[in-house]
Chain A
Amino acid sequence: MELVIFTGLALVAALAAMLVIVQRHAVYSALFLIITMGALAGIYILLEAHFVWIVQVIVYAGAIMVLFLFVIMLLDIRREQDPWTPPGRGRILTALLLSVVLLVELGMAVAQRLVLPPSGAPSVAGGFGTTQTVGRLLFTDYLFPFEITSVILLVAMVGAMVLAKKRLT
């Protein structure tokens, strides 16, 4: 059952991700990215990440993507006539070279059975991934990074306001 849910969500995430990069209008890309993030939030539930999937839906899909859509609407982006950069000769050559390297690596990994066997996940503690556990860790072991993130957010707020405000002449 878990495999069925995972396969469905993974297909939705992969398809929506591919659709993000081929749209001519930025709004459609943003909406497909929201679908991708929603599918990923579902996969996070399968991974016992109970706090993280809620934060993903509220913060990532609910705040960051809304900010994206605000900016897309604010800038009044038109449909792109020619969205793809024309591939030069060097670019095609680099892409072919990297694809060959990747395929050789994948072949070696499969041949030497480096893909991990489906031995099933180890059982985790009762409170794994809950808000209580994350909260306790954030205020004990990871207190310093937690306080630093508040400074990061303050700096980002001030920076965004300074960058985006109109010039006062």
Chain B
Amino acid sequence: MQVPLSAYLILSAFLFIVGVVGVATRRNALIIFMCIELMLNAVNLTFLAFARFLNSMDGQIFVFFVMVVAAAEVAVGLAIIIAIYRNRETVDVAELNLLKW
């Protein structure tokens, strides 16, 4: 029995929603960042599912580029978090409110 496309899409949507809930709810900047990576993985799954079911390699090439950009983004984002920690001694985003009026 074949796995239908909708199964992959439902799993991808579920992972994306879990990532969004994590970003919206948690205060630790590192866990927020991990939930962003979770969302990127969910999108990768969507791309690959459609690439398979539409018999097109474009989806897989795009997943490759998504992974490259995710790696670059993680490097820069973690450097920013380290710089913030060095200045404020915390990674709690609730305490990063210097720009709040």
Contact = CB atoms under 8 A, between A and B. Distances in A.
Interface of A: 2-3, 6, 10, 13-14, 17-18, 20-21, 23, 26, 29-30, 33, 36-37, 40, 43-44, 46-49, 51-52, 55-56, 59-60, 63-64, 67-68, 71-72, 74-75, 77, 80, 83-85, 115-122, 124-125, 128-129, 133-134, 137-138, 141-142, 145, 149, 152-153, 155-157, 159-161, 163-164, 166
Interface of B: 1-8, 11, 14-15, 18-19, 21-22, 25-28, 30-31, 33-35, 37-38, 41, 44-45, 48-49, 51-53, 55, 57, 60-61, 63-65, 67-76, 78-83, 85-86, 91, 94
A48 B52 contact: yes
B52 A64 contact: no
B26 A85 contact: yes
Contacts, number: 202
A128 B55 contact: yes
A29 B85 CA distance: 19
